Amino acid sequence: MSPLRIEAFNPSTHEWLRVGEVGPQDRPGSMSDNKPDGKRDVYQLECAEDDSRSIISRSQLGIDLDSGGTRNINSKGFEVIKNLAKEQSFEMSLTHDGKLEPRRYRFTHT
């Protein structure tokens, strides 16, 4: 089955590097984005069980806890940011913990 492919852009080489994937049978993945105003958005990344699409959602009114490679998200709900069909891609920039500059990411439902 085809996964949601996650790539990061390397500005020094101008290349996209694969950094992960989420398959139809996998638990949803997540990524965080620290805003300049101190707020933090948490995005959930999932591939539909029937492999028809991938969904990128943003947590609404929740918390996340990172404990050694596992992130637990407790959210009031999720706002769908993007539904991706086969071979569709979506890009966004995220600023992670301890980083000052945002990094570009590309998500592709393969």
pLDDT tens-digit readout, 40-58: 888 999 999 999 999 999 9
pLDDT tens string 56-95: 999 876 666 666 666 666 677 789 999 999 999 999 999 9
pLDDT over 70 at 27, yes or no: yes
The burial of 80, by beta-carbon neighbours within 10 Å (0-12 exposed, 13-18 middle, 19 or more buried), is given as exposed
Gyration radius of the chain's alpha carbons: 14
Average pLDDT of the segment spanning 5-22: 96
Instruction: Say which residue the tokens 């709900």 belong to.
Output: 77
Q: What is the pLDDT of residue 96?
A: 82
